[in-house]
Structure 1
Amino acid sequence: MRVCFVMPALPHYFKLILNKIVAGTGYEILMIKPAQKGKATGAAVKEETDNALFRVVELEEYRAWYGKPFFKDLLPTLRAFHPDIVVITTWPYFLYLTLNPFFYWRLRRLGAKLIARDIPFNYAIWGRVKEFYFSPQFLSENFQDSNKTWIGFILFWIASLLRRLNLPLADAHINYIDEAHEIIGSYGVPSEKIFVISNSPDTDELLASFETVKKQPSILPPNPHRLIHVGRLVQWKRVDLIIEAVKKLQPTYPGIELVVVGFGPELEKLKIQAAEAGLAEAVRFVGGVYNSGDLGQYLHESAVYVLGGMGGLSINDAMCFAKPVVCSVADGTEKRLVREGTNGYYFNNGNAADLARVLDLLLANPERVRAFGQRSLEIIKEEINIQTVIEGYRHVFEFVTKK
């Protein structure tokens, strides 16, 4: 079977997923991505193509007449590959299928099945667009719900209308959140075409690293009150909120520490914030760490994983190393991983005082930290891991090719 993925970037974790799919199934995979940094790619996304077991083709992006990016020479590239399936990242590329219907007609003439892949975060249920836009559920890129205007609403309504037209064009949909059945289904997509597959790093590698790091000497001094955050240092990760919470907790836990793993455009601003709060010694910035062994040591030697804003695979990473997780409700992917009062806690979005409150529930009870961490590890081993992701993709591919 030949499968082509069309994506705005190739994050290092997804390369590992595709490698596992190739090794486990024998599928021939082609990845099409932008030749330069994708116009729809977030800041500080680490891409990786080394040691890929699949072909990578980089095409030039251009801005279509409606202002969003698309690929030059996409059809000739697909025609040369002869794919059985084309998996396209829904936003922003599916817009082109509606706004250039001749392209969609030519794409269908290739005979390949079409799969849309997306997190329907910030998608309104069709019929409730106005209600959703003006509610706290609709968040900006910076994880805020302010500055909503009627012009913004009109643009959001148009985007929703275009989804109503283009989402039913796909033969199947791959989404990361359980709410996808209700959300995507409201746009006219039959339930049997909607598949929920959790995102995952290479948990096989991470779990093996966990066993290794448990036997290695520590790289940090012991501290039962050490928090850790892993991720790009961008506004919507809200690391500033974690620093605020650390400041609030310091009188109760004088030795509290925050380890920040990652890099990005907010780094200097966060360093200044920590210094001005008198936390220069309590907040440790260690930069980007992508080797599973090195990352595992930082996670293993910390007590609690904290996510202040928008989610990512760092929750999965932390759970592979038996960490309890504290986060807010963000893009929805966290709901499959973090179970309130079982392996972590949720705090009210944007509320540093509430974040400090739930962190205190863990820091004050080392046995709870241990028990929650153990449950995190069980969820990874038994439910959400690289093998279940591969099986999920295989199931979708078999569904569309048998139609």
Structure 2
Amino acid sequence: MKNSKHILFVHYGENWIRGSEQCLLNLIQHINKNDYTPFLWTNNKTLHIKVKNLGFCSKLSKFLILFGWKSPRFNFLLWKKQIDFAKKYIFDKNIDLVHVNSAAPCQWMIFPAKSMNVPMITQLHSDYSVYERTTLGLHLSPKIIAVSKAITNQLISDGYPKDRLFVIPNGIDINHLRKSIKIDIKSNLYLPKNSFIFTTIGSLIYRKGIDRIIIAIDRLILKYPYIHLIVIGDGPQNKKLRELTNHLNLQNHIHFIGNKKNPQKWLLDTNAFVLGSRKEAFGLVIIEAALAAVPIIVPNEGGIPEIITHRKNGFLYKNSGIQPLMKTMQYIIENPKLALNIGIEAKKYVLKNHSITYNTKQFETIYKQTIEENYSKKIYFWKIFYPLKTFFFNKFKLMKKYVL
């Protein structure tokens, strides 16, 4: 007879360890093993290997999403086999609860969970479009946990029940990061002693807005020739961002250093952390930067204002164009002591609100409640179309505004 409850984590994603993957790893590592035993089913080979190396059971599969982003998009037979495998896996591993990490697996996991009478929770790390909310069947999920309140807004507008929506902000392993020993950036990159260093961390993709930070540096450098930008990360826009850097003749001021296993080492020796995201649901790197007690410059976007209060524990800029970002960076350069004090306040806030221990306890509370109540109602497929109702209602309001 088993003593702990078995939780199946189902994750769909690219073959990397970034925000949602790291949050899942943190949860699997820190969950109370006396009460819960984690199992993973994923299409992410890197995540699969990491979980196996941690000593937990993990299954690697190719996932098919109907009407999704990659081919095949319409193979109903393979999709049905995916559901059948999930049923068998739930039975074989004696699963007590399914935790879907990201929206995509919700599309098929809702059916085996329902047929096997196993409760299910869907965790969302970002916003999803009307098309995605519809085709992934988010409104069929019995419960949804979001990493920020901002993510819940569209679901509530669609008509998703508020009493089945929960917000659990991301947490970080504070004790692990505290062991980080800072890197001497100036010595490592041969920078002048008077350099003022901005650091940004993230995937090199359009949404992260690294190009906006580079352009801001270009506009500031005439007045502040000693500023530098460290770019930690990699991605499909790497070449394009380097070309932009060369075009602006900023090779000696923009430093691409790739992915780092422990970017905290670099944050500890930076003058300010800056984020250029065009869209951001939460931003795990923000709380990592806060733990380093550095001034934080971030857009007033998505769930970020739920973490950062302007001029209290960071600096928010209006998320439009380059000018607001540039002016905020300039303010940090000219007011380093004030900025540093605000960075210290950011660290205090993170220590209180975003530890992985606090984060995990919140999940465990919901797990316990969900397993005990075993919320299982009939699936009403028409709920899939809730997002379309919102879409057409908003379109109608917009037309009415301009016509009348």
Give TM-score, length-normalised by structure 2. 0.77
- Tell me the alpha carbon deviations over residues 38-67 of structure 1, each in whole angstroms, 9 at most, x when there is no partner: xxxxxxx99844532421111222343673
Call closer, same or farther: CA 1:178–1:65 in 2, change over 3 Å. Answer: closer
Correspondence for 1:301 = 269
1:3 aligns with 2:3: no
- Tell me the alpha carbon deviations over residues 301-327 of structure 1, each in whole angstroms, 9 at most, x when there is no partner: 111111111443211221111122112
Call closer, same or farther: CA 1:228–1:396 in 2, change over 3 Å. Answer: same
Call closer, same or farther: CA 1:333–1:179 in 2, change over 3 Å. Answer: closer
Correspondence for 1:385 = 355
Choose from 70, 74, 84 the match for 2:86.
74
Q: State the shift of 1:353 in Å.
A: 1.6
Structure 2 gap segments, 5+ residues each: 374-404
1:198 aligns with 2:169: yes
- Tell me the alpha carbon deviations over residues 276-335 of structure 1, each in whole angstroms, 9 at most, x when there is no partner: 112110011111101x3xx223111111111111443211221111122112134x2322
Correspondence for 1:320 = 291
Bigger mean CA offset, 107-116 vs 181-190: 181-190
Call closer, same or farther: CA 1:162–1:60 in 2, change over 3 Å. Answer: closer
- Tell me the alpha carbon deviations over residues 102-142 of structure 1, each in whole angstroms, 9 at most, x when there is no partner: x72x431312111111145255xxxxxxxxxxxxxxxxxxx
8 Å Cα contact 2:332/2:339 also seen in 1: yes
Correspondence for 1:31 = 40
Call closer, same or farther: CA 1:387–1:250 in 2, change over 3 Å. Answer: same
How many residues are paired up? 349
Which one-letter code corresponds to 2:203 in the other structure? R
1:374 aligns with 2:353: no
- Distance, in Å, in 1 between the alignment partners of 2:214 and 2:309 is 24
Correspondence for 1:139 = none
Q: State the shift of 1:162 in Å.
A: 5.9
Correspondence for 1:399 = 369
- Tell me the alpha carbon deviations over residues 233-281 of structure 1, each in whole angstroms, 9 at most, x when there is no partner: 1111111110000011112211010001111121121111112112110
1:87 aligns with 2:82: no
Correspondence for 1:60 = 62
Counterparts of 1:231-246 in structure 2, within 5 Å, are 231-246=202-217
- Distance, in Å, in 2 between the alignment partners of 1:216 and 1:161 is 47
- Distance, in Å, in 1 between the alignment partners of 2:187 and 2:320 is 34
1:114 aligns with 2:120: yes
Q: State the shift of 1:86 in Å.
A: 0.5
Q: State the shift of 1:85 in Å.
A: 0.7
Counterparts of 1:283-362 in structure 2, within 5 Å, are 283-290=254-261, 292=262, 295-309=263-277, 310-311=279-280, 312-330=283-301, 332-362=302-332
Which one-letter code corresponds to 2:93 in the other structure? F
Correspondence for 1:173 = 144
Which one-letter code corresponds to 1:59 in the other structure? S
Which one-letter code corresponds to 1:184 in the other structure? L
The DSSP-based 3-state class of the residue aligned with 1:270 is helix
Structure 1 gap segments, 5+ residues each: 38-44, 98-102, 124-155
The DSSP-based 3-state class of the residue aligned with 2:149 is coil
Identity rate, percent: 19
Correspondence for 1:126 = none
The DSSP-based 3-state class of the residue aligned with 1:271 is helix
- Distance, in Å, in 2 between the alignment partners of 1:47 and 1:375 is 37
Which one-letter code corresponds to 1:64 in the other structure? L
- Distance, in Å, in 2 between the alignment partners of 1:20 and 1:77 is 22
Q: State the shift of 1:190 in Å.
A: 3.2
Call closer, same or farther: CA 1:90–1:320 in 2, change over 3 Å. Answer: closer
1:273 aligns with 2:244: yes
**In angstroms, what is the RMSD of aligned CA positions?**
3.0
